[in-house]
Every structure is written in C-alpha cells, then in structure tokens.
Structure 1
Amino acid sequence: MICSLAELGLPDSIIPKEFADGIQILPEDAVPGDSIFPYLDLDDEIIELSITPNRADALSMRGVAHEVAAIYGKSVHFPEKAVTEDSKPASDKISVAIESDKVATYASRVVENVTVQPSPQWLQNLLMNAGIRPINNVVDVTNYVLLYFGQPMHAFDLDKFEESRIVARDARDGEKLVTLDGEERELTAEDIVITVADKPVALAGVMGGASTEIDNNSKNVVLEAAVFDGKSVRKTSSRLNLRSESSSRFEKGVNNDTVLEALDFAAAMLQELANGTVLAGRVQAGSVDTEPVQVSTSLDYVNVRLGTELTFADIEDVFAKLGFGLSGDAEKFTVSVPRRRWDIAIQADLVEEIARIYGYEKLPTTLPEAAGTAGELTKTQALRRKIRTIAEGAGLTEIISYALTTPEKAVEFAVTPSNLTELMWPMTVDRSALRQNMVSGMLDTVAYNVNRKNSNVAIYEIGKVFEQKGNPKEDLPNEINTFAFAISGLVAEKDFQTKATPVDFFYAKGIVEALFDKLELTVDYVATKDLASMHPGRTATIVLDGQTIGFLGQVHPQTAKNYGIPETYVAEINLNAVEAALQPDQPFVEITKFPAVSRDIALLLKAEITHQEVLDAINSAGVKRLVAVKLFDVYGGEKLGAGMKSMAYSLTFQNPNDNLTDEEVAKYMEKITKALTEKVKAEVR
C-alpha cells in the first residue's frame, strides 16, 4: 500500500515538509508487507510523566532518566560522543562578546564543510514522536540536543555573516528582525538579540533570524549554546506571541552543568551525520557556576516534618538514589545538590525529595487533634462580614484576584511602597512578586470584563497586601488586611425617561462615606497628587485619626489606557487600621421626640477654597447642637466676579432633650458665620 504520514494519523505540524502533501518514502531496507510501525518507531513503549512547573529539569531525556533511575533504584548510563577536532582553531573564524547583563554565558563551536541533507530515519522518527517537525540534519541535531540535554541551541550559517564578531546584547527600541517564520518583529529594549555587524541575526532564547538560516546550500555552521535570562525571554515570547521549545526551557531554567557538554555533543553529531569538520576549541564569553549547591539539615528536622522515624541510613539511601553527595551525620548533614536540580535550595526542598523517594505511601497517617472551642466570630471576621454587607448593598460584586503579580504592578498603586518580596522560582514572570496594593489586580479584572463587552463594572475585594520593611530573603512580610473596589461604566442605563448616569468621583466617595458611616468612624479626605497612577485632580487620601489608611479617586487616564479600560474610579482601605479604631458597641440611645431645625446659608468664596475647608471652619465654631451639614449647591459665574464661587449649605440643629428656639438657632448661625468669615474669608450672600 502507498500512503502518506497524514493518512497514518500523524499531525501535519510534525510531518517533514517534503512529504507533507505526498507519499512518505521509507528506507531502502524496508520490506514490502511488513508492519509500518517499526520503521516509524511508533511501536515503542511510553512512560507518561506529569511535569510540575518547578521541575523543569525533567524537560529533557537526561533529566527524566535521573528521575526514573532514582524511583526504581537504578543507575543512569548516558552515551558519550567524543569530538575529533581539526588543528585549525575556531577563534580564527569567529569571536564572541556579551554586552548585556541578561546573558550569563555564550559559547559557540564552528563546524566546516557540512553536508546538509535529510536526517536519518531514526532521528526523524524521534523528533516527530516528540512533536517536532524534522527540517534537515543540522537543524535536527540542535533539536535532538534540546530534547536530550534540555539545552536550547541554534545553528547559524557562517557564510552569511557580514563579519566574524558575534555580540549578545540588549535590543534597541524600534529595531527590526525577520525571524525564521518569515515575520518581521519590532523589538524593544527588554529583548535580547544576537548580532553580527551590529545587526540582529537571532532573538535570543526564542527564535533565530532568517538572514542566517541553515539551508541546503549551507557549508559552514556556527553552533550556539548559551544561558539567557528567563524573565526577559518570557516577556519577549509573550509580547510577540512567539512560544517555542527553546523559550519554554529558558523561562524555567537550564542545567548549568551541561551547557558546554551539550555544545560538544551537537558538534560530534554533526561530524557523524553531516560529515563536518569541527574546528579546535570553543569560542566563549561569560561563565556560569557549576559547583554543587550545599544545603544542610538534620534528621530530626526531617522526621518532625514527615512524622516518620527514619534513620540516617534511610537518608543516605535516598540521596544515593538521587545521585546527590552527602556528608555529616544525623545531628547535621549537608547535601551537595548538582546544578541539574536548580529547584532545591532550602531544607524543605530536601524533605520533599526524601518523602518522594522514600514513598508517600509509607508515611504514617494521623488524625488531626483539635480542642473544641465555642463558635464565635473574631473581630476581624466580624468586620469582614460587615464590609461585605455594605459593599454588596452598594451594588458591588466580590472578586478574588491573585496575590502574586509583576514587580511593576506590585508597587504601582502603593501609598508607601516597601521592599519587593519576590519568589525565587516563579511559575511565570506575571506571578513573581507579592502585591503591595490590590488596585492593579482589580484593574486587570476590569480590563478582562471590558474586553468581553461587559463595560459596566462594579467590583470589590477583601484580601491581603504585603509590606516588607526588612530583607525579603530573610524576613517575612507584614500581611495587611485590605478592602478595595473599582467602578467603571454607567451607574444607570439610559431608558425612556432617564438619562444614562456614568460613574464619577462623588459616586465612589459616596460608597466610602457609607462604609465609614456604618462603621461609626469619622475620616478626612485630603487631596493629593503624590500617586503617579492616579488622576492628580481627582484623588484624595483617606485619613483616620491622623493616619493615612488608604486612597480614593480616578485612575490616571494614561494608566487606564495602559490597562485598556475606560474612565475608572477606585478606592483602597487598610482594614487593620480600621479594626484598631473601631469602638465597642454603643448602648441603645432613645430616639428623640424633639424636632430638628434647618437653616440654609449661601457663601461667596474664593474658587480655590475646598468643601473640606468649609466644613472644618463650620465645625471650628463649636456648635454642639449642629448635627448635619449638607452641601446642596455650587455656582460659579461672571456675576460673582473672577476667581469666585458660591457654595450653599443646609445646616441641621437638634437638641435631643428640648425644643430649639429661634433665638438659640440664630446664635448658632452667628457663631458659624463668624467662623466662616475668619477661617475661609467667606461672605454670606
């Protein structure tokens, strides 16, 4: 039978391009009538592994071999390939330089007189079974080494270089590069590029450039093996939507021990499969630490955490299976962790390895012990419940966002930014630092909704932010209970009798005022321009008993544009400070039967006088029967004069034990008028 690989069920993405639309040609030793599967290595045995994000060392065959050997108590055996070097030094052909702190090391080898042709069937089969399309023997060797060592590699056509000097540097804003997929990419200063003659020829850690691509006419090859900054590679691949096997590994980390070994292995394979001549020596810039990491602990520490009674002999057996060095005794022992296991750095990591290899099924089972306690809400729990009730009564919907974010967003809206607390091994750069504010996460949620045509958003969250006053590597951060909300879009939709009502500063402030009214706390609002991500004319800090406990206002238009959201108002409040200020429940006070008396007063003021200044002046009069002040009108016009405005207030007086007389109210108004005249130079209209 004649058929294509697609008809055998292989996906188009891994079929060699020359056979993508046609018949697969088998090796000459294929016997007609035999099963096709042995020739395509489709009858092999499969071990299914689930790789957790912290175990990037297992994204290679050698890494998996170490893991399987430890589990089954076997030894690992890796085939070696010796490089036969020519007498001509590689340094005569190329030189290498690093001009970026995002590149730890960059090593290369030169292989001359290669014959570019299809790879042998076994190599094509191996790559296809791993989900990689075979290209040619040179490119396939680099992909094979990627799978075998976990070390990303790239091959350049040396004859296409404009000069011999290779430089790894940061890209320049606006610089262009056409990648191997034929797309022109515009670069930023956050990207890393490999350059020749100051022109980018590869996007480091992500994809090579088309200008130095290996093709059927290539004769002289430069092999690259390097260690690039994982965060930078992650940002570049995410921004360009250009994910690759190489970028995935650089993001999670590569084995420092085998960078040069992988380079030599690839050169030896090109000798074998492409009849190439390997020039003498590597050309290298920079270096990485290959010394084992020393981590110490004790037998008692291990047994307390696992609830076991392991002996030191058990510990020795576990680390012997893992291939780790061990010295010391039960009181204190030190483990020499090879660089291939960069996920191990602290005592707890050693405990995890012991539990895994010893066997989770062997760990003793115990039931938790807890003394019965009376069911009662703590003060913190009661406050949270009350705030939820108030927030939901105001029409807000509760959300839960990530406590981990980017280093930039972690401090973006922080009133008093502190030291960053960053994860040593984050799963992604986007979730690498503990937040110091909740607003940035809420704006991500607003953007998520707006992008899905839900433009009217009113959300809140009660969670923790993290303040780090000490050394993030040694000290735990302070956890601060925090309430935040964000509103955007319309308060009320337009209908046949009502105009659409957009959210504004006063709507957001009303929610905050309602919150503190229900909590029976008095706060002040102080205009501020100190928060760079907030609108300088529509932002206020919230002050309680002389302490700034949060802020309220409009997100700066440029910040909103960066998030891709419309006009949005936010607030954030420190609940630890609120809880500390709460007063004990007040005894019931009988509602007075005596009526209140209201008086209106209109004031002519300078335009720069704020509502808060007027309130402070009124309160300074010391009228104890004044129970409410309400601003009901603000007017400005030419009739009032340049730089002037009119503000009208309704003042409410009440005596809970008697009726107020007109004479008493008149005295109160006189005192208030005098205070307004003295404090804010007001003129009563």
Structure 2
Amino acid sequence: MLAPLDWIEEYIEFKPDIDDFSHRMTMIGQKVEGYRRESDEIINVFVGKILNLDNHPNADRLLYGKVDVGNKELQFVTGAKNTAVGDLVPVAVDGALLHGGIKIKSGELRGVASECMLCSAKELGFSKSDYPDAAEDGIMILPDTAVPGTDIADFLKLNVPVFEFEITPNRPDCNSILGLSREASVAFNCNFVQEKPKAPVGTGNIKDILSVEKPSENCLRYSASAIKNVKIKPSPEWMRARLRRSGIRPINNIVDITNYVMLEYGQPMHAFDLRHVEGQKIIVRQAVKGEKITTLDGVERILDETDMVIADMVNPSAVAGIMGGETSGVYDDTDTVIFESAVFKPESVRVTSKKLGLRTDSSMRFEKGVDSKTTVEALCRAMELVEMLGAGEAVDGIIDINTDDYTSPAIELDVKRINKILGTSLTEEFMIMTLLKLGFSVDNNKFVTPPSYRRDVKVLEDLSEEVARVYGYDNIPYSLMEGVALAKTGDLDIFRRGLKQLATGLGLYEAMTMSFMGTQTLDNLNAAADSKLRNAVRISNPLGEETAFMKTTLLGTLMESLSKNFASRQKSVALFELNKIYLPLDNDPLAHEPEMFSVAAYGDFDFFKLKGIVEAVMDYANINDVDYLPVSDNPTFHPGRTAKVVYKGEVLGIFGELHPDVPGNFQIKSRCFVAEISVEKLFALRGPDPAFDPLPRFPAVTRDLALVVDKEVPSADIIKTIEKNGRGLLEKISLFDVYQSKELGDDTKSMAYNLIFRSSDRTLTDKEVDGVIAEILQALNKENIRLRG
C-alpha cells in the first residue's frame, strides 16, 4: 500500500524522521519496502514569470522571449500558443531532470538561443485529472500565488514522502491510513488522534427515496446514505494530490470522495446515480446463471450463481465488492447520489474476482477482510467530505442492514505464560498498556478483547506476538536454552548411514522413490497372481490407480527410475535405495514396515558385480559363512542367474538377473540386475565388530585351481568342499573366472579359483601345500569335479 507521510501525520502527535519512520514501522511489523517523493524525478525546475514574448524570426510557429526565474533572466523558445506576458510557468533550466528521465540542456532553435524550457503538466508527470485547469497540449500556467525563483517541487508540494508498505494477509486493517497511523502511534509512543466523523443533519429521509433488500448470505453488512442537489466538479488540489500519491487517478469530487474514504478507512465504497436505480430499490443477491453486466471498464461480464451482484428491480448494477456497472456511474448531470458502504465475505469476492480476471483496490481489500463495524463510520466520513467540498446536500438517515454475528474472543492475560513464550520478564502493567495502545480492551478480571478489526488475534500466543513486536524483537535478551540435550544417534541410524556410504563407495547412486505403486508395476515385474507382493495395503484416497497401493517391494519403483534413465539415453546406470516397504498384518489395521536395501542396474554390469556388492554388504554387517543358494522358481528373475542369501537358515534377501521379459516391460532394452536385502534382518543378525588381528608373521602361499564341473553345480558347493579339506591352512578362496567352450562340452564349464594358504606358527613349504591341494582334488573327484588339464 502507498501511504503519504503527511496524511499519516494528521492522526499522530509527532513529526517523524523519514529513515526512523521506515525502521520503526518495519520493526513493529509493517514492513516498509521503500519510499519516494514526486520531486525525485523533477530537478532544477523553478517558477518563472514571462517578461516578454515575440515571434521567432526564422520560424512561423515558434515564439521566443525571456523569463524571470528569481535571480536571473533566461531566454527561451517555445511552440506553445497558450502563453502570455506575465504568466507564471514552470521553467526547466540547463541540467534539469523531468518526468521519465528527460534531461534538459541549453541550445539553439532555428538560430535563436534557448537557455531553458517552459514545461507542460505532462512533462512534470501530471495528467489532466491531476490538474484539470492545465492545458492539454500547452504550457502549465501556475496561479498568481507562485513566486518566481521558487523550486517547483516546493510550490506544488512534491516533496511529501510516500511510503510503500508490504501489508501481510493477517493485517487487513493496515490497508488504510488510519490502520497505519494507529501502528505509527504505537511505534513512536505518541497519541493517536482521530475525531469520529458525524454525518451532517440533512433534510428529508433516505427511506422515502430508497429501500434495500439483502437476501444474499455472502453480504455481512450493507449500509447506504444519500446526497441530493449534487454538484459534480473537480476535487480540490489537496485531495487530488493525496489520491495521486496513493496510486489512484482523480476523477470528480463524488468518485474521489469514495476513493479517499477507502484509502483512509480501508472501507471500499461505491456511488450510484439514483436515476439508474430502477424502482428506487437496491437488492443484494446472487446472480442468475448467464446474467450479463457491462462493468465500468467497458467489458461485458457473464455471471453465474456463485457471483454476487448489487441490483435494482430490473438489472444488476454492480459486481459486489469488485466493480460497478457501466450505468451505475456518476455523470455531470447527476442530481442524487447513493453512497454504498458494505462488507462481503472474502471467499465470495475472491472466487468471482479470480473467475472474471478482475482485481481492483476494492476486491483486494474485501478478499483480505474488511471490518464490518466501519461501514457506517465510513459513510459519515463521506458525508462530512461532501459538506466540506460543497458537493451536495445530505439526505437525513442511513439504511443499515447488519447480519454479521462475529464476536471478538475474550483471552485471559497470563503474564507468566507470555514471558515464558518470549523469554522475557515484562511486567503486567507494561503488557496491559501495550495492548490498550493497540486498541485492545482489558477488563478487571484481566481478560483481553481484541478490537473488531483485529480478527487475527484469537489465542494467548497471538497476544504474545503483539507484546513482542511493540517491546521490540531486538530488545528480547539472548539466552541459552536450558535442559536441552543433544539426541543420541541410535545404532540402527548409524547402521543405515554406514550402509548408504558403503553403497555410494561401491559406485551406486542413491534413489528416493515414492511409497506408492499400482498393480501394473507388479505386472511389469512378472509377479505371479498368488505372489506375496500382491498382498498390499490399499490407500483409501489414492491419487490414481498407478498409486493405489503401498509398495511391497522397492524393485518396481527402482526399475521405473532405471526406465527414465534409459529413455534419457544413459548407457549405464546403477541405483540403490534404502527405504520401507509395507506388508499387511492379520487383525491389525497398521502395516508392518520393514526396511529394505535394494539395488537395480543395467549397462556395464553383470551377475558377479552384483554378487560382489552383496558380499560387501554382508562384510559390512560382519556376517560370515553366508550361503548363496540358486533360485529358479521366481518369475521375476532369470531361472539360472539368481540366488538367495541365506545365513543360519534365515533368508536375508535375493539377487540376480531379471527374467528377460521384465526389462522390456519397463521399456529397457538391456539386461538388468537387481538385489533386495532385508535391513531389519541384517541389523538383527549382524556380528560383533572384528577384534584386532595382528599382521601375519609368516608369508602366504598362493595356488590357482581350474576345475571342470557340471554347469549346474553352484560355486558355493565347490567352495565348501575346498574349505572343508583345507586342513585349517586355507586362509582365503575366491572365484576369478568362469569359462565355457565346445572343447569342454555343452554340459560342463571351467571355474578357476585363487587359494591363499598361511600358517600362524611357521612358514609353509611347497611340499605341505601340495599335500593339501592333493587332498582337496581327491575330495572334488568324489563329486565328479576334476582338475582341468
């Protein structure tokens, strides 16, 4: 909101410094975005008196002459025809700055020197509505009271600071000069001075010329008054200036009065020409579907039942709270005017304003909320201004229909609680004085009642905020919080964090997917009709069928993430996710929510890379002696390239290559590898942290074995046989190659292992190691596994 400082100063007993005013108003909660003066863009322009005027010797349409600017005489050249000797005019001297950033410098026109320029109202930034007596195209003629040499900014009072406030939605009362003045009086600890207006005693009775009917529940209060013998003319300069500085274009005295009261009180008003009120009756009602009205901006609007209108006995005259109709305006020959001052429900005005694409100063105020107790007072102020400007004669009486049943809450003043909230030790006396300054009332029982225009204050915490902003947030002492201990990070949180760090270190990228899935996701995973994955918790209000269930596996949404990466032409992607799945429980409305660690990858990836990741996860959990058993009956996975992770008979998870049909279901043209491991079981079965193991004292002996085996024999069985026959000297075994060829046969394959032997008490000899190797090969031969030649 734009607010001229001189207008605010009318209501406070103080003349504030501009910068101090900006700071204090911001600190009390009314943020000042900035301020400006009209004189900021008009520099080195002075009042001048034309001394002589002659025809230009070299141009038929130009004049030249001299002008007195106080301390010197300057020659000018002009094409304006409305000037005469003795006229007082604005004169821009060399180096002057005019509206729009125009710079003036002395020069020569058709051979005659011009040391200055005579200015029009437009060149000073004014329109015809700002100065109705100024010529449209000629030089601005100043009144006889102007003194040559006076700065034009001083003479036209253009040095008034105009502040721009950012009004928060909870403070609609500050969309007014009175509201901001109340705040300023508190900020500067001075008196707020407002004389309540009284409607002039008129003649006749308004009820003889107008009746009002209010069937719409969206109108909380409707008040109206009347003026007769109206004299339409421009408003006085002081009113036009205030409207202009506040961002409103002056029109005529009656319309300007309604806008002036709106700015002053925050109460939108409208003026109707009684001649155009059919049946001399105003009806506040909802529109009929398809009803049309042409608003004051000349646009035809089509309304429906959600829109509220101010109508007469025949047609709508205004869109309630937004804009009047074309026929409802005030004309030069208007004789009787009806002033409307009403309050409409914010939500009703907001819906209509948005639908029509029509936002006005009135609709903005109604949308944020207008105090219903100001309607009559605003009418009285308007009638007072009518009498002051000689714009007409009052008709006695005011029509007032009030259905607003709002009652301000009574809030108990708990001084101890407020001090605890704020961290202060303020006295009860200070709090009461503060609230009284803000317009609150406090009874003998220490119950505080907010004024009607402060409907945002409802509970004790709201009172605390009021006390704090007046006391000053920067005055609240800093203090350390007492009794606050840092929360200890739990073992499970540490385990999760370490697992994520491990996955990242292994080259995987973390994914975070939604907790929802649809049946199509399970179909894409080839989940069987009786699969446990299909026993899912259904959401009561899903966004759609694709998110109708809580997910029972992380693999579906991870595959959807892979699909998006594949569609973006990413050649190789490996993702992991650590998140919950949701499994329904019998006789329990709440689901079991175990956490799973899942991996999904395509591109530069294979089964053994995936197995290495799973083994790294087992090592992280200090789980040894894990069995990797083949799985061939899961339709999601490849029947020959899948294993389940088993430890002490407990299945921890599953990993392998997806069934060849599954990637295509997700529009991925590449082999995909996935794993899903229970974090819950990993954490429960994790082993102790390894104890210190000294560096070995004796060297190791390494051997490689290439074995020919049946292609259906799993590597885990071979490793078990080798470990069993290692005489306690086998320190480590690892598979490093798998080979198949026609020479080996279609039913066999070659598997190469690296074996590391070491003794803790001696250096092993080749003879000892060869003996162990012989025993291992003998045991393998019994299982039809032979050394490759």
User: What range is the shorter-chain TM-score in?
Assistant: 0.5 to 0.7
Corresponding residue SS for 1:163: helix
Letter in 2 for 1:129: R
Are residues 373 and 543 of structure 1, via their aligned partners in 2, closer, same or farther at CA, if it must alter by over 3 Å?
Answer: closer
Give yes or no for contact 1:293–1:338 (8 Å, CA) kept in 2. Answer: no
Give yes or no for contact 2:162–2:245 (8 Å, CA) kept in 1. Answer: no
Are residues 30 and 303 of structure 1, via their aligned partners in 2, closer, same or farther at CA, if it must alter by over 3 Å?
Answer: same
Quote the offset at 1:343 in angstroms: 1.9
Once structures 1 and 2 are overlaid, which stretch shifts more, 64-73 or 12-21? 12-21
Letter in 2 for 1:522: L
Picking from 180, 184, 189, the partner of 1:68 is 184
Give yes or no for contact 2:197–2:377 (8 Å, CA) kept in 1. Answer: no
Q: Structure 1 residue 36 and structure 2 residue 152: aligned? A: yes
Picking from 345, 362, 366, the partner of 1:250 is 366
Give yes or no for contact 1:13–1:133 (8 Å, CA) kept in 2. Answer: no
Letter in 1 for 2:216: S
Name 1:177's counterpart in structure 2. 293
Are residues 32 and 296 of structure 1, via their aligned partners in 2, closer, same or farther at CA, if it must alter by over 3 Å?
Answer: same
Are residues 512 and 107 of structure 1, via their aligned partners in 2, closer, same or farther at CA, if it must alter by over 3 Å?
Answer: farther
Give yes or no for contact 1:255–1:339 (8 Å, CA) kept in 2. Answer: yes
Counting only pairs closer than 5 Å after superposition, residues 154-553 of structure 1 correspond to structure 2 as: 154-289=270-405, 292-328=408-444, 333-368=446-481, 370-375=484-489, 483=515, 509=521, 522-524=533-535, 534=544, 541-542=548-549
For each residue in 1:209-258, what CA deviation from the matched residue of structure 2 results, as whole angstroms up to 9, or x when unmatched? 11111122212111000010111211222222211111111111112332
Are residues 581 and 321 of structure 1, via their aligned partners in 2, closer, same or farther at CA, if it must alter by over 3 Å?
Answer: same
Letter in 1 for 2:440: F
Letter in 2 for 1:180: L
Corresponding residue SS for 1:222: strand
Give yes or no for contact 2:538–2:549 (8 Å, CA) kept in 1. Answer: no
Q: Distance in 2 between matches of 1:208 and 1:382?
A: 65
Are residues 107 and 365 of structure 1, via their aligned partners in 2, closer, same or farther at CA, if it must alter by over 3 Å?
Answer: same
Quote the offset at 1:581 in angstroms: 2.2
Picking from 196, 208, 216, the partner of 1:100 is 216
Give yes or no for contact 1:256–1:289 (8 Å, CA) kept in 2. Answer: no
Give yes or no for contact 2:200–2:383 (8 Å, CA) kept in 1. Answer: no
Give yes or no for contact 1:380–1:579 (8 Å, CA) kept in 2. Answer: no
Letter in 2 for 1:235: V
For each residue in 1:77-104, what CA deviation from the matched residue of structure 2 results, as whole angstroms up to 9, or x when unmatched? 1244432233311111111111211111
Name 2:720's counterpart in structure 1. none
Letter in 2 for 1:542: F
Q: Distance in 2 between matches of 1:58 and 1:180?
A: 27
Give yes or no for contact 1:526–1:540 (8 Å, CA) kept in 2. Answer: no
Quote the offset at 1:281 in angstroms: 1.0
Are residues 583 and 288 of structure 1, via their aligned partners in 2, closer, same or farther at CA, if it must alter by over 3 Å?
Answer: closer
Corresponding residue SS for 1:88: coil
Give yes or no for contact 1:115–1:275 (8 Å, CA) kept in 2. Answer: yes
Quote the offset at 1:41 in angstroms: 3.1
Q: Distance in 2 between matches of 1:223 and 1:91?
A: 14
Q: Distance in 2 between matches of 1:156 and 1:576?
A: 68
| CA RMSD between the two structures | 4.7
Corresponding residue SS for 1:227: strand
Are residues 594 and 175 of structure 1, via their aligned partners in 2, closer, same or farther at CA, if it must alter by over 3 Å?
Answer: same
Q: Distance in 1 between matches of 2:535 and 2:302?
A: 49
Corresponding residue SS for 2:152: coil
Corresponding residue SS for 1:243: coil
Name 2:202's counterpart in structure 1. 86
Q: Distance in 1 between matches of 2:635 and 2:595?
A: 32
Letter in 2 for 1:299: V
Are residues 594 and 336 of structure 1, via their aligned partners in 2, closer, same or farther at CA, if it must alter by over 3 Å?
Answer: closer
Letter in 1 for 2:470: I
Picking from 632, 636, 640, the partner of 1:596 is 632
Give yes or no for contact 1:74–1:321 (8 Å, CA) kept in 2. Answer: no
Give yes or no for contact 1:116–1:274 (8 Å, CA) kept in 2. Answer: no
Are residues 576 and 189 of structure 1, via their aligned partners in 2, closer, same or farther at CA, if it must alter by over 3 Å?
Answer: farther
Are residues 322 and 284 of structure 1, via their aligned partners in 2, closer, same or farther at CA, if it must alter by over 3 Å?
Answer: closer
Are residues 220 and 364 of structure 1, via their aligned partners in 2, closer, same or farther at CA, if it must alter by over 3 Å?
Answer: same
Give yes or no for contact 1:205–1:250 (8 Å, CA) kept in 2. Answer: yes
Corresponding residue SS for 1:99: coil
Name 1:581's counterpart in structure 2. 593
Q: Distance in 1 between matches of 2:627 and 2:159?
A: 87
Q: Distance in 1 between matches of 2:395 and 2:156?
A: 34
Are residues 279 and 599 of structure 1, via their aligned partners in 2, closer, same or farther at CA, if it must alter by over 3 Å?
Answer: closer
5+ residue gaps, structure 2: 1-89, 91-117, 553-579, 585-589, 598-617, 637-655, 663-711, 718-789
Name 2:106's counterpart in structure 1. none
- Whichever of the two has the greater Rg, that structure is 2
Are residues 348 and 540 of structure 1, via their aligned partners in 2, closer, same or farther at CA, if it must alter by over 3 Å?
Answer: closer
Once structures 1 and 2 are overlaid, which stretch shifts more, 23-32 or 128-137? 23-32
Quote the offset at 1:6 in angstroms: 3.7
Name 1:153's counterpart in structure 2. 269
Corresponding residue SS for 1:342: coil
Total equivalences in the alignment: 471
Quote the offset at 1:303 in angstroms: 0.8
For each residue in 1:584-640, what CA deviation from the matched residue of structure 2 results, as whole angstroms up to 9, or x when unmatched? 99997946455737999xxxxxxxxxxxxxxxxxxxxxxxxxx9998979xxxxxxx
TM-score, normalised by the number of residues in structure 2? 0.52
Q: Distance in 1 between matches of 2:441 and 2:162?
A: 31
Give yes or no for contact 1:107–1:285 (8 Å, CA) kept in 2. Answer: yes
Letter in 2 for 1:121: E
Once structures 1 and 2 are overlaid, which stretch shifts more, 31-40 or 126-135? 31-40
Corresponding residue SS for 2:173: helix
Quote the offset at 1:541 in angstroms: 3.4
Q: Distance in 2 between matches of 1:288 and 1:275?
A: 32
5+ residue gaps, structure 1: 399-459, 463-482, 486-504, 546-572, 601-626, 634-653, 659-685
Corresponding residue SS for 1:119: coil
Are residues 377 and 279 of structure 1, via their aligned partners in 2, closer, same or farther at CA, if it must alter by over 3 Å?
Answer: farther
Name 2:609's counterpart in structure 1. none
TM-score, normalised by the number of residues in structure 1? 0.59
Quote the offset at 1:47 in angstroms: 5.2
Name 2:112's counterpart in structure 1. none
Quote the offset at 1:182 in angstroms: 0.7
Q: Distance in 1 between matches of 2:338 and 2:250?
A: 19
Are residues 630 and 243 of structure 1, via their aligned partners in 2, closer, same or farther at CA, if it must alter by over 3 Å?
Answer: same
Name 2:677's counterpart in structure 1. none
Q: Distance in 2 between matches of 1:244 and 1:29?
A: 39
Corresponding residue SS for 2:442: strand
Give yes or no for contact 1:14–1:128 (8 Å, CA) kept in 2. Answer: no
Corresponding residue SS for 1:91: helix
Give yes or no for contact 1:90–1:110 (8 Å, CA) kept in 2. Answer: yes
Q: Distance in 1 between matches of 2:125 and 2:475?
A: 43
Counting only pairs closer than 5 Å after superposition, residues 592-631 of structure 1 correspond to structure 2 as: 592=628, 594=630, 596=632
Q: Distance in 1 between matches of 2:232 and 2:479?
A: 63
Q: Distance in 2 between matches of 1:283 and 1:543?
A: 61
Are residues 85 and 595 of structure 1, via their aligned partners in 2, closer, same or farther at CA, if it must alter by over 3 Å?
Answer: closer
